[in-house]
Amino acid sequence: MGRGLLEVAVLHSRDIAGCEQGGADRLSFAVKGAVEGAVEGDGDGRSPDLAAAAQVIRGTELPVRVMLRLNDSLTTTGGEFTRLVGLAEEYVSLGAEGVVFGFLDTDLEIDTETCVALARALPGVPWTFHRGFDQALEPRRAWRDVVRLPGLSAVCSGGSPQGLTHGYDDLLAVLDSDPDVARFLMPAGGLLPEHVPWLLRAGVRQFHVDVQVRPGATTRSYVDADFVRSWRLMLDDAADRTG
């Protein structure tokens, strides 16, 4: 079994050292904001300004994915869409490996039209669907829709708007009924060490942590290298045992 990918959410360049020293594989970067139903530290946030993005992207050799989001809803307007494309192009020109976005329509289904349009405006740029995915009204239908989107390589999901505390069993059920989901699922929203072996057995290979690697489990502290390293070692050990 291959080594699982460990993605760590960062808030600023001061988080980079802990990620690098602890053995993270990829960073996700957003300016945190309040999103209804979100678990603190997972899935919320807006696009950073270019100066902040440059500090993070150019401050590390690790791949960085940057949030594309200009408001706290899960929709966008024509004017915002144009700005999002421009921002994404700037982030990529700074060296971002990919981007993070996601849209739902007024019926709380995946807005495939908008997602496809943005993905096609960024050819060759991999992207993650953020935890807004968990707000979809019918998760099974949402998974059927999202896995067909171009350029998509990860979906952050806790199986519920309240995160893995409520949605873990539902995620395992989805994985059992549709193994293709495992190629995209990146568990997020309260991931615990005891979740990892079962998710690995189901074929999941990407994992997202945020406040779990911050002392006090708060965004007011910086990412800690020892905390990241404990996740790195635990993930590698679980992969070896599962394999």
Domains and CATH numbers, the chain: 5-242 (3.20.20.380)
Distances (CA, A) of 159 to 120, 139, 175, 202, 216: 27, 8, 11, 15, 25
Q: Tokens for 63?
A: 């791949």
- Would you call 137 helix, strand, or coil by DSSP? coil
For the stretch 103-128, pLDDT in tens is 999 999 999 999 999 999 999 999 99
Give the per-residue pLDDT at 113: 96
- Stretch 190-216: mean pLDDT, rounded? 95
- Stretch 200-216: mean pLDDT, rounded? 95
- β-bridge mates for residue 27, sequence order: 8, 64
Give the per-residue pLDDT at 235: 94
pTM over 0.85: yes
What lies within 8 Å, CB to CB, of 241 at 6+ separation is: 197
pLDDT at 21 over 70: yes
Euclidean distance between CA atoms 40 and 218, whole angstroms: 8
- Stretch 172-198: mean pLDDT, rounded? 93
